[in-house]
Amino acid sequence: MKRMKHLLYACLLLFPCIVAAQSTLKFRPDGTFRIVQFTDTHFQVDNPASDIAIDRINEVLDAEKPDLVIFTGDMVYNRPAETGMRTLLEPVSRRGIPFVVVFGNHDDEQDLTRAQLYDIARAVPGNLLPERHDSPSPDYVLKISSSDTPTHTAALLYCMDSNAYSPIKQQVKGYGWFRFDQVEWYRKQAATFKTEHRGDTLPALAFFHIPLPEFAEAAQSPTAILRGTRMEKVCSPALNSGMFTAMKESGDVMGIFVGHDHDNDYAVLWYDILLAYGRFSGGDTEYNHLHNGARIIELYEGARAFTTWIRQKEGVVLDKYRYPEDFRRKESPNR
């Protein structure tokens, strides 16, 4: 019955007549803005093990009532990928919640390219995805407006494609890294927003799939405060193309949120940028030793601060922390 319902929802969204209008994201009257991050759903059409992913998406959305949903990759895991994609997006779209997607290393391994998947997601009502033009999966920025002044941008969300596998796999094996043009794109965006706001650096977050090499460095540091679960090594690229350095130098990004490593959901502060995993959101279609769920991030207007937590099934909330204070060491009075 559940599988029939998922397919029915997907069919209802197969042929929308127009692309959804771009809505404006803005802080709530109380100065908060809530994001739900779903990651690594690894959804398989006609596999009952995937029902848990849809169940958790519905449960989290009902409990958190977010202002935005971000899917950070590895969404679909078999054919037909279009049905899987639409089935995953339906619970969000049906509730009228704005959403975006970025891709992982498995999404385009089924029967559709990144460009085709992007166009499908962009045709689902509620999406905030920009036109991709000549890019198969563009990097983009979402602007969050002030609660009382819609024309004033108060925060930024960078959503980026961290690519899939090494483009020079004969010499360097493993996962892909951000290209230099992507690093330069980010630098230009950050500089432009700073100029537009008279030299003020807007608070920002970044979302993509594959963790940066700095995730491993921070996790192994004896002085970094790590909160949450770490049950596998960081599967980052072998080469470091400088995205973290660019974000640190630009000064706007407070936190980076990724997926990819299913048995990690920790957050760790590294040079004042929080490096955080989402919680694995899928069913038993891939390896996982954590109860599936989602990461929630709540921003505060006018502050370089946010609170984040994990929500699992049946209302279980874990690891609720505030950035930056809960990740900084208290200095000894004797020093």
Q: In the predicted model, what is the mean pLDDT of residues 152-174?
A: 98
pLDDT for position 126: 98
Q: How many domains does the chain have?
A: 1
Instruction: Give 45-66 pLDDT, tens digit per residue.
Output: 999 999 999 999 999 999 999 9
Within a domain: 239 = yes
CATH code of the domain covering residue 225? 3.60.21.10
Question: Beta 253-258 vs 204-207: how paired, if at all?
Answer: parallel
Instruction: Give 4-14 pLDDT, tens digit per residue.
Output: 445 544 444 44
Within a domain: 183 = yes
Q: DSSP character for 111?
A: S
Q: In the predicted model, what is the mean pLDDT of residues 142-167?
A: 97
pLDDT band at 97 (very low <50, low <70, confident <90, very high): very high
pLDDT for position 12: 43
CA angle 199/200/205 to nearest 5° reads 130
pLDDT for position 171: 98
Instruction: Give 238-289 pLDDT, tens digit per residue.
Output: 999 999 999 999 999 999 999 999 999 999 999 999 999 999 999 999 999 9
CB atoms within 10 A of CB 147: 18
Within a domain: 244 = yes
Q: Which domain holds residue 238?
A: 25-327
pLDDT band at 330 (very low <50, low <70, confident <90, very high): confident
Report residue 275 as tokens. 């490096």
Q: In the predicted model, what is the mean pLDDT of residues 108-115?
A: 98
Q: In the predicted model, what is the mean pLDDT of residues 155-176?
A: 98
**pTM score above 0.85:** yes
Q: How far apart are CA 120 and CA 104, in angstroms?
A: 16
Within a domain: 108 = yes
Residue 224 has pLDDT above 50, yes or no: yes
As a whole number of Å, the CA-based R_g of the chain is 19
The backbone region for 126, taken as left when phi is positive above 0, alpha when psi lies in -120 to 50, beta otherwise, is left
Residues facing 255 on adjacent strands:
205, 274
137 within 8 A of 108, measured Cβ to Cβ? no
Within a domain: 333 = no
Within a domain: 129 = yes
pLDDT for position 332: 54
User: Residue 80 CA to chain centroid, in angstroms?
Assistant: 23
pLDDT for position 228: 98
Calculated CA dihedral for residues 111, 60, 10, 282, nearest 10 degrees: 30
Within a domain: 9 = no
Within a domain: 234 = yes
Report the percentage of the chain scoring pLDDT > 90: 91
Report the percentage of the chain scoring pLDDT > 70: 92
Q: In the predicted model, what is the mean pLDDT of residues 19-25?
A: 56
